[in-house]
Structure 1
Amino acid sequence: MKVGSSMTSDVKILSPDDTIRAAAEIMSNMDIGLLPVSENDRLVGMISDRDIAVRGVAAGKGPNTRIGEVMTYDVKYCFDDQDIDEVLENMADLQVRRLPVLDRAKRLIGIVSLGDLARRGSMTAVALAGISRPGGEHTQTQ
């Protein structure tokens, strides 16, 4: 099965110039923890609730801080035509629970989460074990 059949395609996109308050409000209203950030029709980063908390609030930044100051720039992603098992392995290796989904022209078309894949009956135990191990590449420091 391909990722495109399991992803969430209704994605709100923000700009690096939007504020962390705006991002937090959207996250709250949509009950999500991650939003893509785009500039000139290209994915340039991701902003998570953790980015806002750790790189924003904990660092003394206020609600009018621009997303570009706290977002994650090193975006890991997958393609819509990749096999789910391959993406699950990648998520485990990267220790992430969500990935943006791009088409082969590298345009954002959705986001896939571990929950999306679990709801489809995919084998997520191996990915969850890898994601949950201590340490790893993902860090909150710039």
Structure 2
Amino acid sequence: MKVSDVMTRDVQVASPTDTVADVARRMSEIDSGVMPIQQGGQIVGLITDRDIVIRVVGEGRDNEIPVSEVMTSPVETCLASESLKTATKRMADLQMRRLVIVDDQGSLAGILSLGDVAREASARALGHTLEEISEDGAR
């Protein structure tokens, strides 16, 4: 199974000059805890709800500052064509909850989160259980 089979697509991005307040509002509207920061077609950073809490609220900074001042950079990426097993091992090794997924040209393709991985594992477990029930026959 490939990363592209389970990743979240249609990811919204922010610009490095967008304010933290604006990005936080957008994250709330789309119910996401992460937003890649893109400039000139390249991913230059990533901001999470945790970044905002720790680096803005926790430090008493103004939420009108540009996200470039508090984003995480550089960003760990993974190819959409990589195996899910390889990607999840990398997430575990790096102790990361999310990976930015890029295509072969380095453009944003999606995000792989622990939630995506859990949903896939749950779907596989459900499929396996249904197979077992079907093999045993209906009772």
Asked if Structure 1 and Structure 2 have the same fold, meaning a TM-score greater than 0.5 normalized by the shorter chain, the answer is yes
State, as a whole percentage, how many aligned pairs show the same letter: 43
- How well do the aligned residues superpose, as a CA RMSD in angstroms? 1.0
Structure-2-length-normalised TM-score: 0.84
- Whether 2:27 is the aligned partner of 1:27: answer yes
Q: Which residue of 2 aligns with 1:74?
A: 74
Gaps of at least 5 residues in structure 2 are 123-139
Aligned 1:73-112 pairs, distance under 5 A? 73-112=73-112
Q: How many residues are aligned here?
A: 122
Gaps of at least 5 residues in structure 1 are 123-142
Offset of residue 58 of structure 1: 1.5
CA distance in 1, matches of 2:30, 2:95: 24
- Deviating runs (4+, > 6 A) in structure 1? none
Q: Which residue of 2 aligns with 1:38?
A: 38
Structure-1-length-normalised TM-score: 0.83
1:7-58 CA distances to partner (integer Å, 9 max, x unpaired)? 1111100001000001111111111111000011100000011111111122
Query: In terms of Rg, which structure is larger?
Result: 2
Q: Which residue of 2 aligns with 1:56?
A: 56
CA distance in 1, matches of 2:47, 2:119: 24
Q: Which residue of 2 aligns with 1:65?
A: 65
Matched to 1:99, the amino acid is L
